[in-house]
């Protein structure tokens, strides 16, 4: 029986967690109102963090974290990124840190931007996609990187390339990367991709996948028959060519869960952003305490829950007065073997920046994907809208509870040994831990476990902080962002201006980039001075996501203008 002031899993408040679970699983529920076909732009559901440039403002992608190995160096131990080859070796490496095997299927004539990578041999070199649906495998006090629904790979063997989508816990967004030179005798290079290019299809800032019955995959017997005939083997890169629909079905479920990760991060960041004199930090602290209590024992403290509910109501009225739209990750089913007339229409790409529009127009013209199945088309109908009347804390609390693996919870139970979490969490709050704008399982474990009555003497989450990470690289060749105005310019403008006809942010060094900025300084200043710039002349474009992000943070535009003045 639950103690007084608590509800067990069957209690009235705990029922809401079952509801949240159904939402996470992608099922219909009463607390999601279906999106209207005339819904306004989905940018209302996109945070400024998701809109910034190719390189992460902080942290690294999960793929980076998993593929780093320590090597000795003159300045002490250094991390070096090593991507195992061939692909079955990479898959085995990733699965070695997970308690569950990967999901993998083949899409010979799919709809990614790699759709033409195999040329006229798509069935001989089908695109392999991989997802990780399981928890990390703990080794002693190393709790490992949490890769469940946070790591997705796409590989076309003949292209010597891997597309990577993996989560960055420190900023609460998915990162998009390219592994090039991934072939026999080559040295793989890992770079962050042109984010604007990726978001042209991944308009939700996360993975996407087809709806049932997944006719472009090898679950379609006609597709698998052609692959079998082309590869002349029962397996290709370790994937069984004959495959039932359960694999793409589970893949789609993983993608759906992955898409909610970004929204749950937004709830942590904005759902607790209560107006003064209330405390966003205390709201996050109570949310975590409720989540851990639920995960560890199934109990919910009524008083804490009611307090968080009141804080949420205040925050939602301020942040999401008309609700929070949830983009759909699902693409219409597409059968590449069915007769279809490609319409060749590319007018829908007019919403994109000119530097990437030309590349995508060429892909769309050459493609045999019909217009109604094209992922480049803007998807304006949300999967759901979370409204203020249904915005109880259950969604975030359940998401926080699901962040921790069974091994994490075992360690927490052992460390608590009959006491409560209140004291350690109070100390974390006093130290300002809950000012963080993203909830990061690893940072929570590192901060919490040493404070428990029976602490672990050493806690790791896959990386040793004593070793230095190599700089993150972008596909345009730039290195890690520098502080100040240049960093902000790279964040807001880099998606369009590290390539294309006006690549004034391209370059391998600050000197190269600064020289180009000096040449264009007066023009750039005028375009960013919105008060004096005429309509159609100001930058970023008035309807762009980057413009919205700068409007949310006007101090960033002021810092960029000050930086340009200083050149």
Domain co-membership, 357 together with 224: yes
Alpha carbon of residue 313 to chain centroid: 27
Domain co-membership, 160 together with 309: no
Domain co-membership, 251 together with 264: no
Name residues whose C-beta falls within 8 Å of residue 239's C-beta, 6 or more positions apart in sequence: 104, 105, 106, 128, 218
Name residues whose C-beta falls within 8 Å of residue 232's C-beta, 6 or more positions apart in sequence: none
Nearest to 378 by CA among 336, 327, 341: 327
Q: Give me the number of domains the chain comprises.
A: 3
Residue 238 is predicted with a pLDDT of 96
Domain co-membership, 351 together with 415: no
Report the chain's mean pLDDT, rounded to a whole number.
83
Distance (Å, rounded) from C-alpha 17 to C-alpha 293?
A: 13
Domain co-membership, 344 together with 401: no
pLDDT grade, residue 184 (50/70/90)? very high
Q: What angle do CA 271, 195, 181 make, to 5 degrees?
A: 135
Domain co-membership, 71 together with 205: yes
Domain co-membership, 209 together with 137: yes
Domain-embedded: residue 468: no
Range of the domain at 526: 485-566
pLDDT in tens, 92-137: 999 998 888 999 999 999 999 888 888 899 999 999 999 998 888 8
pLDDT in tens, 313-327: 888 888 888 888 888
Distance (Å, rounded) from C-alpha 387 to C-alpha 372?
A: 29
Residue 502 is predicted with a pLDDT of 66
Domain co-membership, 99 together with 238: yes
pLDDT of 43 > 50? The answer is no
Domain co-membership, 447 together with 489: no
pLDDT in tens, 429-456: 999 999 988 999 999 999 999 999 999 8
């Amino acid at each position: 029986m639950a103690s007084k002031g608590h509800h067990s899993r069957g209690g009235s408040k705990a029922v809401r967690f079952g509801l949240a679970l159904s939402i996470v699983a992608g099922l219909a529920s009463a607390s999601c109102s279906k999106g209207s076909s005339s819904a306004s732009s989905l940018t209302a559901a996109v945070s400024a963090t998701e809109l910034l440039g190719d390189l992460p403002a902080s942290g690294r992608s999960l793929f980076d974290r998993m593929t780093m190995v320590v090597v000795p160096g003159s300045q002490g131990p250094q991390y070096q990124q090593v991507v195992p080859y061939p692909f079955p070796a990479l898959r085995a490496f990733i699965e070695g840190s997970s308690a569950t095997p990967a999901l993998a299927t083949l899409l010979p004539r799919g709809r990614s931007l790699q759709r033409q990578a195999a040329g006229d041999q798509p069935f001989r070199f089908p695109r392999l996609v991989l997802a990780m649906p399981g928890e990390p495998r703990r080794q002693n006090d190393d709790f490992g990187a949490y890769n469940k629904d946070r790591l997705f790979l796409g590989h076309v063997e003949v292209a010597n390339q891997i597309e990577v989508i993996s989560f960055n816990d420190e900023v609460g967004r998915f990162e998009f990367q390219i592994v090039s030179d991934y072939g026999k005798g080559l040295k793989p290079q890992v770079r962050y991709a042109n984010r604007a290019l990726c978001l042209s299809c991944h308009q939700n800032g996360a993975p996407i996948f087809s709806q049932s019955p997944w006719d472009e995959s090898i679950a379609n017997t006609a597709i698998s028959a052609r692959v079998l005939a082309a590869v002349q083997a029962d397996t290709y890169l370790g994937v069984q060519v004959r495959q039932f629909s359960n694999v793409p079905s589970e893949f789609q479920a993983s993608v759906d869960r992955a898409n909610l990760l970004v929204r749950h991060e937004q709830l942590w960041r904005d759902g607790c952003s209560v107006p003064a004199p209330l405390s966003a930090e205390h709201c996050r602290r109570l949310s975590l305490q409720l989540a851990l209590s639920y995960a560890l024992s199934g109990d919910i403290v009524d008083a804490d829950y009611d307090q968080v509910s009141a804080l949420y109501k205040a925050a939602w009225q301020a942040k999401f007065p008309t609700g929070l739209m949830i983009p759909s990750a699902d693409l219409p089913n597409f059968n590449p073997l069915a007769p279809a007339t490609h319409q060749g229409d590319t007018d829908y790409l007019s919403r994109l920046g000119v530097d990437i529009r030309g590349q995508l127009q060429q892909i769309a013209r050459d493609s045999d994907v019909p217009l109604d199945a094209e992922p480049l088309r803007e998807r304006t109908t949300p999967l759901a809208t979370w409204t203020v009347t249904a915005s109880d804390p259950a969604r975030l609390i359940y998401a926080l509870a699901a962040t921790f693996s069974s091994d994490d919870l075992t360690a927490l139970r052992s460390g608590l040994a009959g006491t409560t979490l209140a004291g350690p969490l109070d100390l974390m709050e006093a130290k300002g831990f809950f000012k963080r704008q993203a909830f990061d399982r690893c940072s929570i474990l590192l901060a919490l476990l040493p404070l428990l009555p029976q602490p672990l003497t050493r806690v790791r989450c896959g990386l040793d902080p004593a070793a230095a990470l190599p700089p993150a690289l972008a596909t345009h060749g730039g290195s890690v962002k520098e502080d100040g105005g240049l960093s902000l310019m790279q964040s807001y403008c880099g998606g369009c201006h590290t390539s294309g006809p006006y690549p004034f942010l391209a370059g391998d060094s600050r000197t190269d980039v600064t020289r180009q900025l000096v040449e264009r300084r007066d023009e750039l200043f005028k375009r960013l001075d919105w008060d004096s710039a005429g309509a159609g002349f100001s930058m970023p474009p008035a309807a762009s996501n980057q413009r919205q992000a700068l409007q949310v943070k006007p101090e960033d535009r002021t810092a960029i203008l000050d930086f340009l003045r200083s050149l």
